[in-house]
Amino acid sequence: IRSVHYLTLDVLETNCHVLSKKAWRDCGERILHESVYGQCKAIIYVNKPRRILYSPAYNCTLRPGKRKDSQYVPDCPSPSPTDFSDPKVLEAATESLAKYNKESTLKLYSLFKVTRASSQVSGCLFGPSYFVEYLTRELPCTKSPETVCVLHSLSLVPVMAGISLGDSLLLKVSLFHASTPVATQELGRILTVEEPQQKNTDLTDSPSKVAPKGSVQHLPALEGEQPEDSKRKGPVEAFPVQLDLTTNPQGETLDVSFLFLGPMKEQLVVLPFPKEEQRSVECPAAAKMADPLVLPP
């Protein structure tokens, strides 16, 4: 009827932003040279009679795919990650959005946040090309020749967001409601870089403070052979993911009463996350995308 699951997941980044609220099955994978993959550990509480699915904690570690493995087509260089603070990144975003606003018949949008950027050297004559993904917000006015539209307050405008990809010559746009409705505070929370998970977290927080606890760690790509010094120290762990809500072998109590309506009291016993040798016989399951260049080592 009710159960607690301890999951270890191999994950692959899709081309959908989390604010789109799309299921991962409805999203496509990124092309090989842009792939980001990794591993997550999560604790999931399931209560079937009450139709409750809740994750009190998670941790993920992600890496970009090996760039050299994706360069299997001659004369087709792979984009390299670019610093968001690079003025060319902001220029590519603003120019492409200005082009979209110029061609738009009604709505106008402002730049909200750059979420991904890369550059690619196309040749000596043309210089680098910049590819930028960013979120936008709908401005509170319609388009007209006399319109001077300024977003005075984020809290006064319904949240609209979109993802745009391209340089100043090419633009692909995907518009979506971030949520219906969604608070500006929640939008900011999702877009803010997560703080590292605090150790020894108290599991018995009051309901008003209870929220999923977790972090996403981004590591550089694993490229080539390890240096001799690293080999002597042992192999590098591809995805060092820890999820230690408790180290007590008897478990700790987690209050989930806030998930239920009314005065109902519900508590769970959360155990230390199982070690690899304690995995279920059903694991690992078959990969949804079996490309050896993005599967974990």
Q: Where are the alpha helices (DSSP H) in 104-183?
A: none
Place of tokens 């005075």: 152
The larger pLDDT score, comparing residue 111 to residue 224, is at 111
pLDDT tens digits, 156-209 = 344 444 455 555 456 666 766 655 444 444 455 544 443 343 333 444 443 334
Contact 54, 44 (CB under 8 A): yes
**For residue 14, which amino acid is it?**
T
- Tell me the one-letter amino acid at 271: L
Domain ranges of the chain: 2-74+191-278, 80-186
The pLDDT assigned to 122 comes to 63
Cis check: omega of the bond before 284, within 30 degrees of 0: yes
Dihedral (Cα; 21, 23, 26, 27), 10-degree rounding? 70
Query: Is the whole-model pTM more than 0.85?
Result: no
Sign of the four-CA dihedral 173, 178, 183, 186: negative
Amino acid making up residue 57: A
Strand, helix or coil for residue 135: strand
Fold exhibited by the domain 80-186: Nuclear Transport Factor 2; Chain: A, (3.10.450)
Location of structure tokens 């607690």? 4
